[in-house]
Structure 1
């Protein structure tokens, strides 16, 4: 007769889930659906499994007073001032906190220059920003993960309709009579490439040449790229900037060159942030707060369908 007490690993194996999922289901933690929780608890009851609170605390290194669940917002951005220089991140945090409401869950922000290779103590959920390819897949293996923007195959994501937003910006410039159009595109990331593709699709159909330069979603690069575009075509009458921060550099370079925004050169950005409103900048609005909230809701309840794409809308202001 086998008198060995059933373990959490036994429960997980019989229930057909991971050990971490079994633990969360038994303890009523976030990150598992109601159906999974019921199945795991039924299996635990059938096997006669009884969790040992002291052993659990010793195994995790946490006492009952410190077992607060957490969601980590992992931002890969080499700029140490990124959190203040880029309004996008603040909007993400606003949406995430809105989704958490009064739940007893910590929201941690981690900005790194490169994706972490490992995790000594992974969170129950992770929101990825600017984490792509193998790094995104690795993060998803270590914790429940949703990415803002496409990350890697198999990783759930929520993103704006970047392609449609780029398309709207280009249509606006062409239909308002702009003929010598420049563009400061973004870095080689999925969201930037999608904006670029939508923009260039209109330009190809309009049979208009576009002078362009690559940017990195910073004001400094937007400034330098615009000076480059003006050197290549001093008669530019429009510039599309792939994000509002980039557009701030575009506007500065145009002012220094003596070009009057809108009368001489139309400018359209992308994000629809507070920067766009303050600068009277036409910009493609993307609902960042709603994206972040949808991602957090999916982390809290994985039974919900993957968030997918949210619509973007061009908001025309005084710059175009």
Structure 2
């Protein structure tokens, strides 16, 4: 005779939550609100659901194995060398780890070229990086998410003052009497767009035309973009690079074409990463570790107030 007893999947379906959320609610784990927990428990009682003792022991860590709630850092980046070549991500993980210190919550990282369409077993929460607005909104409907950078409608986010940082870079070049300015901007993301807007606004106010090339935050594309700019405008005396990785490609192009950095062409980056320090690069510093830490704390406690924009500061070095 077939077993007709209700299952956890039945409880999840009737309660209108995922199976993972139902399991967390039944076992008193992180990741569900009090309202959801009460609803799941009430549905389980109505259906006569009884957790299997072995499964419950495994879920709660009483059976020799312990399942930990996890926070997933979901990074959308088509660059296969992203984790090793972009210091930004390492700084994010440092800040996230700092926020989770002392908590029984694991940290996982997923690097994908596009947001996964399937989400059968969502984690306790997700920290979203470069996730398009529509996908971010969909994730937010299913669970806890916080985005690094402005994202979809209704999606909580933490971001630096990108617009202000772009403005600081432009003011520095204008005050340094740079007249023929180029810029290698980033991909069409909110953060990159904000940096672009701040930079161009100041340049327009100073009546400085800007030769523009689009980049994608990779060294290879930045190198190509810088070569294109120099071919179009051989007399450039300054280049703004929308991130430090982009600046590395710009510096290579300048060296190969015989330009002397700072004397002939000033270069300003954005991030303030270890790359900037190593390359003696003037760069707009953004507090990535604090940004990630703040985002994780809000992920753990959505009742916390929104942190607002984190300040950026220009660090002047030998490249300008």
Mapped contact 1:76–1:111 kept (Cα < 8 A):
yes
* Equivalent residue number for residue 185 of structure 2: 185
* Contact preservation (8 Å) 2:148, 2:159: yes
Equivalent positions of 1:36-185 (< 5 A) are 36=34, 52-54=50-52, 57=55, 62=59, 64=61, 65-185=65-185
In structure 2, the CA distance between the partners of 1:43 and 1:193, relative to structure 1 (3 Å rule), is: closer
SS of match in other structure, 1:197: helix
Deviation per CA, 1:214-233: give whole Å up to 9, x if none: 00001111111111111111
Structure 1 distance, partners of 2:319, 2:243, is 14
Q: Pick closer, same or farther for the CA change 1:111–1:43 going to 2, 3 Å.
A: closer
Deviation at 1:142, TM superposition (A): 2.7
Matched, 1:288 2:266: no
Correspondence for 1:197: 197
Quote the Cα distance in structure 2 between the aligned partners of 1:77 and 1:61.
35
Spell out, residue by residue over 1:144-188, the C-alpha distance to the aligned partner (whole angstroms, 9 max, x if none). 100111120011111111101001000110011100000000001
The residue number in structure 2 matching 1:258 is 258
- Rounded Cα–Cα distance in structure 1 between residues aligned with 2:23 and 2:316: 51
Quote how far apart the aligned CAs of 1:78 are. 1.1
CA contact (8 A) 1:26 1:41 kept: no
Query: Is 1:275 aligned with 2:275?
Result: yes
1:215 corresponds to 2:215: yes
Cα distance in 1, alignment partners of residues 40 and 220 from structure 2: 58
- Deviations along 1:16-53, whole A, 9 cap, x unmatched? x96877764664433357xx48x9669969x9899855
Task: Report the 3-state secondary structure (helix = DSSP H, G, I; strand = E; otherwise coil) of the residue aligned with 2:240.
Answer: strand
TM-score (norm. length: structure 1): 0.86
Q: 1:47-87 deviations in whole A, cap 9, x for unaligned?
A: 989985526937x9957324210011001111121100111
Unaligned runs of 5+ in 2: 1-5
What value does the CA root-mean-square deviation take over the aligned residues? 2.9
Q: 3-state DSSP class of the match of 1:182?
A: strand
Partner of 2:244: 244
Does the 8 A contact of 2:182 with 2:240 survive in 1?
Answer: yes
Specify whether residues 51 and 162 from structure 1 end up closer, same or farther in structure 2 by C-alpha distance, changes over 3 A only: farther
Other-structure match for 2:3? none
The alpha-carbon deviation at position 143 of structure 1 amounts to 2.4
Count of equivalent residues: 306
The CA distance in 2 between the partners of 1:297 and 1:164, in whole Å, is: 25
Task: Provide the rounded CA distance (Å) in 1 between the counterparts of 2:111 and 2:236.
Answer: 37
SS in 2 for 1:140: helix
Give the stretch that moved more between structures: 139-148 or 19-28.
19-28
Deviation per CA, 1:120-159, whole angstroms, max 9, x where unpaired?
2110100111101211111222321001111200111111
| Range moving further from structure 2, 231-240 or 296-305 | 296-305
1:31 touches 1:302 (CA, 8 Å); kept in 2? no
Structure 2 Cα separation of the partners of residues 79 and 22 of structure 1:
36
